[in-house]
Structure 1
Amino acid sequence: MFFASAAATAGTDDGWPRQAVAAAVDDATARYALPGIAVGVVVDGEVRHVELRGETVAGSGEAITADTLFKVASNTKAMTAALLARQVDAGVLAWDDPVVKHLPGFRMHEDWVTREMQVRDLLIHNSGLGPGAGDLMLWPEPNAFSRDEVIAGLAHLKPRWSFRSRYAYDNTLYIVAGEVAAAAGGAPYDVLLRREVFEPLGMQGCRVGEWRVDGAGPVAAPHVRRGDAWEPRAEGEVVADMPMSAAGGVRCTLDDMLRWVRAWLDPDTAGGDGARWLSAAQRDEAWTAHMPMPLSARMRAWNRSHFHAYGYGWRLSDVDGTWKVAHTGTLSGMYSAVSLLPELDTGFVILVNGDAGDARTVLEQSLSKIFTACPGAACPRADGLVAHYASLLAAERSAAVAAQDAPDGDAAHSERAPAAAGALSGRLGRYRDPWFGEATVCEADGGVRFESLKSPRLAGPVLRAGERLLVDFDTLGPDADAWLEFATATVGGPATLAMAKVDPEADFSYDYEDLAFVRVGDCP
Structure 2
Amino acid sequence: MPQGPDKASRHSPGRRSVLKALGTGALGLAALPALSSCSDQAAAGAAGGSPSLLPAPEQQVPPLLDDHKVGQALAALDRLIQDAMTRTGVPGIAAAVVHQDKVVYLKGFGVREVGKPDAVGPDTVFQLASVSKPLASTVLAAVAGQGKIAWTDPVVRHHPAFSLHDPSVTSQATFVDLLSHRSGLHTGAGDLLEDLGFDQDYILGHLNQEPLDTFRSSYHYSNFGYTWAGVAGATAMGMSWEDLASKALFTPLGMTSTSYRHRDYEAAPDKARPHVRADDKSWVARYTRDADAEAPAGGASSSVRDLAEWIRLQLGSGSYAGKQVVDADALAQTHVPQNVTGAPATPGGRTHFYAMGWNVSYDDKARLQLSHAGAFNLGAATSVSLLPGEQLGIVVLTNGRPEGIPDAISSGFFDIAQNGKATVDWLGFFGGLYGKLDASEKPEVDYSQAPATATPARANSAYVGTYANSYYGPLTVAEDAGALVARLGPAASPTTLRLTHYTADTFSFASIGENANGLAGAIFAADASGRASSVRLDFYDRTGLGTFVRSTGSNA
Determine helix, strand or coil for the equivalent of 2:94.
strand
Distance between the aligned counterparts of 2:529 and 2:157, measured in 1? 45
- The reply to whether residue 311 of structure 1 matches residue 355 of structure 2 is yes
The equivalent of 2:487 in structure 1 is 451
SS of equivalent residue, structure 1 residue 287: coil
Shift of 1:163: 1.4
Cα deviation for residue 162 of structure 1 reads 1.8
Identical-residue share of aligned pairs (%): 26
The 1-side partners of 2:125 and 2:421 are apart by 33
With structure 2 as the length reference, what TM-score do the two structures score? Answer: 0.77
Structure 1 alignment gaps of length 5 or more: 1-11, 502-508
Task: Tell me the amino acid that sits aligned with residue 499 of structure 2.
Answer: V
Aligned position for 1:285: 333
Aligned 1:101-500 pairs, distance under 5 A: 101-139=157-195, 143=197, 145-159=198-212, 161-209=213-261, 211-212=263-264, 216-227=268-279, 228-233=281-286, 242-267=292-317, 269-270=319-320, 272=321, 274-295=322-343, 297=345, 305-321=349-365, 322-331=367-376, 332-373=378-419, 375=421, 379-380=423-424, 384-387=425-428, 389-390=430-431, 396=436, 408=444, 411-412=446-447, 414-415=449-450, 422=458, 426-454=462-490, 458-464=495-501, 469-473=507-511, 479-487=517-525, 495-500=533-538
Cross-structure match for 1:5: none
**Cα 1:199–1:164, aligned 2, differ >3 Å: closer, same or farther?**
same
- Give deviations 1:103-162, integer Å, cap 9, x for gaps: 11222111111111122222111121221111122236xx2x232211110121122x22
Query: 2:535, 2:499 → 1: CA distance?
Result: 13
3-state SS of 1:166 partner: coil
Q: What's the Cα RMSD here? A: 3.6
SS of residue in 1 equivalent to 2:195:
coil
User: Per the alignment, in what secondary structure is the counterpart of residue 400 of structure 2?
Assistant: coil
* TM superposition shift of 1:367: 3.2
Contact 2:99 2:393 in 1 (8 A): yes
Q: Which amino acid aligns with 1:471?
A: F
1-side partners of 2:266 and 2:293: how far apart?
Answer: 22
Unaligned runs of 5+ in 2: 1-67
Confirm whether residue 35 of structure 1 aligns to residue 91 of structure 2: yes
State the AA in 2 paired with 1:429. Answer: G
> What is the letter of the counterpart of residue 100 of structure 1?
V
1:222 and 1:333 in contact (8 A); partners too: yes
Deviation at 1:88, TM superposition (A): 1.3
Q: Is the 8 A contact 2:73 2:414 kept in 1?
A: no
Instruction: Give the TM-score taking structure 1 as reference length.
Output: 0.81
CA 87–374 in structure 1, closer or farther in 2 if over 3 Å, else same: same
Change (3 A) 1:447 1:188: same
Tell me what 1:83 maps to.
139
Higher relative contact order (CA 8 A, sep 6+): 2
AA paired with 1:127? S
| Residues 69 and 219 in structure 1, CA contact (< 8 A), matched pair in contact too | yes
CA contact (8 A) 1:224 1:354 kept: yes
1:517 aligns with 2:548: yes
- Partner amino acid for 2:250? F
Asked if the contact 2:112–2:271 (Cα under 8 Å) also holds between the matched residues in 1, the reply is yes
